[in-house]
Each structure stands twice: as structure tokens, then as C-alpha cells.
Structure 1
Amino acid sequence: MLALTLTATLSLSLINALDQGKGSLFPRYFYIYRGMSRAVMAMLIMGMDSILPIALLIDPIFLGWILSLVLVLLMLNHAIMKAIVGSLLHYTGGFRPSILGLGRWYVSNYLLSAEPVYVMVITSFGYLNLLLFVATYISLRVITWILLLFMKNEGVKRLCSLNYDRVRLIVALILTLSVILRGVS
């Protein structure tokens, strides 16, 4: 069970760091066309999704097995819908290349991605898994931005351009199996 949980935690960190739906390419755009100050502002906006996991690290909450199961059902439902009709669960319209437009785009996609549900499921596995998720996610996100901005790495750009909806479904299935196995044992 520990291997499943660690695999899912690290996979979700990787997906969130590289997924273009999470805005991994926007700092590069703002750096190229608007300069470094706008790129840094874009990185700060895109980094707001770390607030919930970090807050849970500071003040951990206990999720019972039943609440974990409900969260898993929500997560699984979302992952299946995203794998089937991913484009409908992603806000793309009305993006103007401005920091305010980026903020609107980010908040809309953060809510549509159901990321808080995924974070709460990882929280149900304990403090160490959440710490691993936060550390891996933030590290990968920073490395991705450095490679995109300063080294102009095309391989990372291609990785960021992939559609991770089906991979997210596999991660959701692994997380579901981990919660079920934890509840049975």
C-alpha cells in the first residue's frame, strides 16, 4: 500500500508541475513578450495552488475513512469526466495576455481541475505524504520554470504541452485503490 500511495503522490506532483492546464507555459510567454517582472508575477499567480497544501502542513486536519471515501468518489468521478471530455472541464476562453486575464484563467481552471479534492485525498494518507507532495510539486514546478525560461529547453516545453487528463485518471485510480486498501487493513 505504501508503494501505491507514494507512486500516486509523486505522479500527481509531476502532473501538476508539468500540466499546461495548470499554466506551466505562461511564465515563459510573459518572459518572452512582457519581460522578467511579468514572468515573476505569473509565477506567483501560478504558485497560489501551493497555498492549500502548505496550509494543511501548518495546521493538519484529520480525515476519517468515510470522508476519505467520499473525497475519493468525487476525485474518481472528476478524473473519469476529465478523461472523457477534458476540454469541457477546462476554461480557455477570453484569455488576454495580461496579469489580470491570467488571474481569471487560473482561478477558473483551479476550481474546474478539482485540485483541492486531490490534495485532501493525499492529506488523508498522513503528514509525510502531504509533505512529500508539497516538496516534490514545488521543486518540479521551479525546475520546470527555470528550464523553460532560462535554458529554453524544448523537451520540457513538449512535456508541458501534453494532455495529462488520462494520466490523471490513472493516478486517481491508484489513489482510490490506496484508500480502499487502507480502509480494509
Structure 2
Amino acid sequence: MLLPILIAILSLGIVEGINPHKGLLFSSYFYSFKKRLESYLLPLVITTFYYLLGIIVSLLVIIPHDTISKLVLLNLISTSIIMKVICSSSNFLHYSGSMKPALSNVIKWSLANSIIEMAPIEMIVANYLVNLGFIIFFLSNFVTREIAFYFCKNSIPRKLYLYNIQLMIEIPILILLLIGIILT
């Protein structure tokens, strides 16, 4: 099961890294400093480290399928949705470290921000709902990204999507996970 998860992570990172001007904000930042190779490798590194924490936590944490666990997960996912909606326009919940264009700084930023933004919660809930939750999570991540990209041409949501990709992806996924917990 770990090989398909690794393939999904790497393919998602490669898809994000094809065009650094339309990908993560850091890719454009690296590209502006004439670090072209790093700008193409950066999405792969960020995607891997961003989800690595969630995968490790969800593999180590075994959650029993009882009412108390369901309520705890429901509260955590609701808090994550509220936090992402309310704090999306500010830097209130965002780690800001060194701006030097180095991959080690990006790894620090990614891990710190994934902890602050409660990213492991998404993986834990996906693992709680289905056994192959990781694959479903990555596929829904990719599909949501592509749908948002194609339907938001020349509009404010498209500009928001290009600026803050994670926000546009995570809120629909979190809402789907919330519905999944309620229905189980």
C-alpha cells in the first residue's frame, strides 16, 4: 500500500512543478532568483513534506470506530474548516521564517505551516473513513485543483486560486470529509 501512496505524492508534485509560474508561490519566487531547477523541484519537495506529516501521523494513530472518536474528529475537522475560512486572508496562522531561496527553508516552512494549518487532520479523517483514504485524498485533491483551474478563467477566484492554491483545494476536501464523518 505504501508504493501507491508514494506514486500519488510524486505524481501530484510533478504535475504542480510542470509550470512554476502557475504553481506554488514559492516556485515563482525561486524562478525570479534564477534558480530554475529548484523552481521545478520545489512543488515535488513541498507536496512530499506537506503530506508526509499527515501520512506518518495517520499510520501511527489508530482511531477506534466509536461515538467519542467520531465526535472528536467531527470537532477537529469543523475547527479546521472554520480556521481556514476565517484566517485565509491574513497571516495570523502562517509561519514566516527566512526568505532566503533555499530548499531547506522551504521544507521548514512546509512542515511548520502544515502543523499550524492542521493538515494531518485531513489524512487522519480520510484514513478513518476508508482504508484507501490516501489514494482518494490525492485524487480528490488533483480533481478539485483542475476543476477550480478550468472554471475560474479570467476572474477573481482564478487569481485567488493562483495565489493561494492550498486554500482553494482544502476547503472543498474538508467539507467532503465533514460530510463523510456525519454520514458514517
CA distance in 2, matches of 1:54, 1:33: 32
CA distance in 2, matches of 1:56, 1:74: 15
Q: CA deviation at 1:126?
A: 0.7
1:106 to 98, 104, 110: 110
Does the CA contact (< 8 Å) of 1:82 and 1:165 recur in 2? Answer: yes
Give the counterpart letter for 1:50 in structure 2.
Y
SS in 1 for 2:101: coil
Give the counterpart letter for 2:52 in structure 1.
I
Give the counterpart letter for 1:69 in structure 2.
L
Deviations 1:122-169 (A, max 9, x none): 11111234322124546888x8xxx9xxxxxx9998322147658855
Does the CA contact (< 8 Å) of 1:92 and 1:105 recur in 2? Answer: yes
Give the counterpart letter for 1:178 in structure 2.
G
SS in 2 for 1:34: coil
Give the counterpart letter for 1:64 in structure 2.
H
Per the alignment, residue 50 of structure 2 pairs with 49
The percent identity for this pair of structures is: 23
CA distance in 1, matches of 2:133, 2:34: 38
Report the structure, 1 or 2, having the larger helix content. Answer: 1
Deviations 1:77-112 (A, max 9, x none): 132133223321122454232223222222221111
CA distance in 1, matches of 2:111, 2:40: 18
TM-score (ref. length: structure 2): 0.60
Give the counterpart letter for 1:181 in structure 2.
L
Deviations 1:19-66 (A, max 9, x none): xxxx82222332342333322442343022233566689899554243
Runs of at least 5 residues in structure 1 that lack an aligned partner in the other structure: 1-12, 18-22, 148-153
Give the counterpart letter for 1:95 in structure 2.
M
CA distance in 2, matches of 1:162, 1:113: 14
1:89 to 93, 113, 117: 93
Map 1:147-158 → 2, pairs under 5 A: 158=159
CA distance in 2, matches of 1:163, 1:38: 19
Does the CA contact (< 8 Å) of 1:30 and 1:38 recur in 2? Answer: yes
Change (3 A) 1:132 1:176: closer
SS in 2 for 1:127: coil
Per the alignment, residue 33 of structure 1 pairs with 33
CA distance in 2, matches of 1:63, 1:26: 39
Per the alignment, residue 5 of structure 1 pairs with none
Give the counterpart letter for 2:71 in structure 1.
L
